[in-house]
Structure 1
Amino acid sequence: CDHTCTDTSTGIQCSCREGYALEDDSVTCSDINECVLATHSCVEGQICFNTLGSFTCQRLISCGTGYELTDRNTCDDIDECQLNIDNCGDKLNCINIRGSFRCVAKSCDAGYFTDAVGGCIDIDECILGAHECADGETCVNTEGSFNCIQRPSLTCTAGYEISDDGESCIDVNECDRGTHTCSSGSTCINEEGSFRCQDPIICTPGTRPSSNQRSCIDIDECEDPLIHQCGEGARCVNVPGSFRCECNRGYRTTFQGSRTRCQGKVFQINLAKKSYHCGDKNTGRLAAIDNYLGIHINECALAAGERCMYRCRNSPGSYSCVCPSGYNLERFDGTCTDIDECNTNQHNCSRSETCFNTRGGFKCVEITCPAHYARLSNRKRCVRQSCKAATNKRSCIRLPKQISHHNISVRNNAAPGTTLFRMSLAKGYPKDRYYFMLTKGNEDMLFRASKRRFKKRKSGIVYATRKLTGPKDYVVDLTLKLYRKRRWATFISRLYIFVSEFH
């Protein structure tokens, strides 16, 4: 027998275990397929699988997310919280529910609200108007609360402070207060709303530092006879980095070492006949070349005319250097320096206009501040006022915090790549995000803005992509977008670029 053998009075009898059937030979046991014979006990939604001596019922549909199939063929809930497979993180509490879990925010203190990921975020009571500050007080937000302080609603940007009368913003002199960041050996120079560090300048012999310490200028040795020592009968001619002695008419040139000396003098000149008599100064005796015809010399065509920066004007027996309108002729060296009509009050701008000095002239610019802006004392900067009383606070906050106006005077045919303007962040934080872009007046892509580091400060510069040919004027807006402390702020520098017709 395959399974069970039983001894009876009539002989041996074979039998099979449950789930099997005895074959016709009365010895062999074969499996009963309950699934085929439909003798199983599977319910609707289950499928029958035959096994040796039995069967199993398997669910047609899986248990789904949040459940697991047990060996009892049932679906049990998975406790994600206990198994630490939730994604609530440290800021949220995990609570298990059937088939899933729930992240519940931990309670935040007063003055904070819970964000989408369970963090406690400070409530800005000042922007939401949820403060209790009285009229005449200004709300200042703090972490978890706010303060009411007695001060004007006018706020000043970095580099400025409220004046004593509380009506305007005045420049902070970082150099006098010692709040600058200039390194040892550098000179702090205060500017409107900021400062700059001037490194010591080293000049070559014959030159000296300029008054603003930005460049080297020529020393005019001709101003001091003790320096040039050209002597009688000679005139001193200043040249870049040095000087030379030239003999006057009627003197002959001699050399004593490296020095130029002039001897002999004309003592009788007849300009009407264009003739002269040469003789010795001491004896009065005429020289053998008496009554030779004098030849008029055009100094402008010679090396002497090269000292004139703008134009040389020849005259009988001499020459002079001239400058275009708007420039002054510097004595001795023929240099033309721009006249600052704005500082010297030689302009004709009205009271409502701002004078911008240019190379060889000036421009009168009407600067008006938009609504909700206050003009600072220097008339070139507009600062957004407090948005507390604004009808639409959200739109007010999105306005630029500051609009500043800048005068940029450029010589004719300025080379491409020349830096025209630099804009720096007063302070920098590691998580700052900032962008510089030209948002107005650059339709022909003549200018470009890019990020730069200047004196370890985050900065942006504007430069020309092509040669600037004058005379021509441009008005370009450089916009700074700064993301700091979870907020975006916008600053605009309006650049008035005046390209001169002169080099």
Structure 2
Amino acid sequence: MFVPAAVVITFVCFCSFQATFGQDCRSRQEIQGSLKQVQKLLSAHEASYLQSLSNLKKKINSLQSNAGKQTTKAANSTCAKLDAPINGRKLGKSHSVSHEVHFLCDPGYELVGSESRVCQESLTWSGQQPTCRDINECVSSPCLNGGTCVDEVNQFSCVCAKGWIGATCQSTVPTFFATMTNTSAATSAAAATLPAATTGPFVRPSRCSIVQGTTHCTCEAGYTISGRDSSTCTDIDECELFHNGQAGRLCLHACINTPGGYRCSCPVGYNVTRDGRSCKDIDECATRQNNCTKDHMCINTYGSFQCVSVDCPKIPNATYVKTSPMRCERNPCPVDNKACTQTPNSFSYHYMALVSNLSAPRVMFRVSALRPMGETLRFSLLGGRLARRHFTVQRSDRLTGQLMLVSPIQGPATVEAEVEMSEVEKRVQLGKYITKITMFVSQYEF
């Protein structure tokens, strides 16, 4: 539209120039013809301009429509939520495309299925949903001499057949008897009528018989001949006899001697197992035998429980909000606040129950990046001397670091370890994520 205007100006000036020098301008008819041509040219340019505006509006509307569809698609582009397997845990909460989740099983269980699953473009998960299967310690038939194996969590116990004892029913119940020569039958008969002072729950008369002039005296199971007095049987203290012998301990925790036998007891927070010898932890959280309020989470430990509540940390130059019961995330930092960008992006909290003197080395926890932003991931261990004495952090693959137990922990104790994961691009830190693991260590080794 500007070109025709320039033409009009030039034409008027040309006529004025000719008039100035006294020359005749073109006839009015010629001028009108020229003006009509200019007017047509202007109309053509105006139509073209309007058409261009119309096309531009259509393109803008199309772009806005496509952007809205993509936003809607992006909002809905998530895979279905995955649940943690029973007796296991799930690591990773994002269900967006290309994100991964990882699965771990509790001690005493093995993973069956995919350890990691990825959200695919088709909005379906790769692999198969895993399960945690109890490790059957009875597969190797550890119980001897007709004993019955009872599979427990991370251990086994044996119910022995009559006449056998020991951790694997490897020893016979001792039988005690006395042989006397030239003993009359009257002595044998007298043994059946002991004085009241020598009778009681821990004292029994012996059973004697005469074979070819020789008297043989025996005691019932759980009793033995009392020294030289073959007519009296006294109780065998199995708890003392088999406390730490070759046959193994009779009881996992405490042994109580009874007339002719024994029984096992467990500390508070445990129940005696079906075999009568081992102890099984009571899950106070599952059975609601706890006093945790609604504002706290119940964490079952070996022999007890803990009520925990997560409070977001207070760090200068940054503000954190709780996005889940066990996670705090930092609010967006102002553009000009560099101190804020150096603080951790998030804090995750996890709690574990351990037995005392757990064997090492072993993997305790894994930290993984779902979708790394930088070219490098770095994992490091934070915390005090106690954490560094018992733990270290190793990389298991490009995206995963694992907390390793390197020396046993004597309970009772509460130990905290922090794993820091940093994203780095060209030596510049892009993000920092802290995982805090609190371990409640029992005073018992079961």
TM-score by length of 1: 0.47
Count of residue pairs brought into register by the alignment: 309
Q: Are positions 1:355 and 2:298 aligned together? A: yes
Question: Residue 493 in 1 paired to residue 435 in 2?
Answer: yes
Partner of 2:351: 407
Q: What does 1:90-489 correspond to in 2, within 5 Å? A: 147-149=70-72, 187-188=112-113, 203-206=139-142, 217-218=155-156, 220-222=158-160, 228=161, 230=162, 234=163, 237=165, 239-240=167-168, 242=169, 246=173, 270-271=199-200, 274-278=203-207, 289=217, 292-303=231-242, 306-332=249-275, 334-369=277-312, 372-376=320-324, 379=325, 381-382=326-327, 384=329, 387=332, 400-414=344-358, 417-426=361-370, 432-442=375-385, 445-453=388-396, 458-464=399-405, 467-483=408-424, 488-489=430-431
After superposition, what is the alpha-carbon deviation per residue over 1:121-178, rounded to whole angstroms, capped at 9, x for unaligned?
A: xxxxxxxxxxx999xxxx99xxxxx95338879x9999879xxxxxxx99689xxxx9
String of CA shifts for 1:232-277, please: whole Å, max 9, x gaps. Answer: xx5x64633x566648999xxxxxxxxxxxxxxx999953693314
Q: Deviations over 1:8-57 (max 9, x none)?
A: xxxxxxxxxxxxxxxxxxxxxxxxxxxxxxxxxxxxxxxxxxxxxxxxxx
Cα separation, partners in 2 of 1:331 and 1:499, compared to 1, 3 Å: same
SS of equivalent to 2:239: helix
- Partners of 1:201 and 1:446 in 2: CA distance: 33
Task: Measure, in 1, the Cα distance between the counterparts of 2:112 and 2:158.
Answer: 26
Q: Distance in 1 between matches of 2:420 and 2:429?
A: 16
CA contact 1:239–1:333 (8 Å) conserved in 2: no
Distance 2:434 2:390 in 1: 16
Counterpart of 1:89 in structure 2 is none
Cα 1:209/1:279, change in 2 over 3 Å: closer
Cα distance, 1:393 vs structure 2: 9.1
Tell me if structure 1 keeps the 8 A contact 2:202–2:260: no
- Residue aligning to 2:55: none
Structure 1: which amino acid aligns with 2:435? S
Q: Which has the larger radius of gyration?
A: 1
More strand per residue: 1
In the TM superposition, 1:50-69 aligns within 5 A as none
Q: Larger RCO: Structure 1 or Structure 2 (Cα < 8 Å, ≥ 6 residues apart)?
A: 2
Unmatched segments (≥5 aa) in structure 2: 1-62, 84-90, 105-109, 120-128, 144-148, 178-190, 210-214, 219-229, 314-318
Letter in 2 for 1:412: S
% same residue: 20
Q: Deviations over 1:179-220 (max 9, x none)?
A: 9899xx9712789999879799894233789688xx5x4364
Matched AA of 2:167: V
Give the Cα–Cα distance (whole angstroms) in 1 for the partners of residues 403 and 311 of structure 2: 24
Task: Determine the C-alpha separation between the residues in 2 that align with 1:180 and 1:464.
Answer: 20
Deviation, structure 1 residue 383:
5.3
170 and 277 in structure 1: CA distance in 2 versus 1, 3 angstrom threshold = same
Mapped partners of 1:498, 1:351: distance in 2: 21
Q: In structure 2, what residue type is equivalent to 1:437? A: S
Q: Is the 8 A contact 1:201 1:209 kept in 2?
A: no
Higher helix proportion (structure 1 or 2): 2
Structure 1 residues 398 and 475, CA gap change in structure 2 (3 angstroms) = same
State the AA in 2 paired with 1:149: T
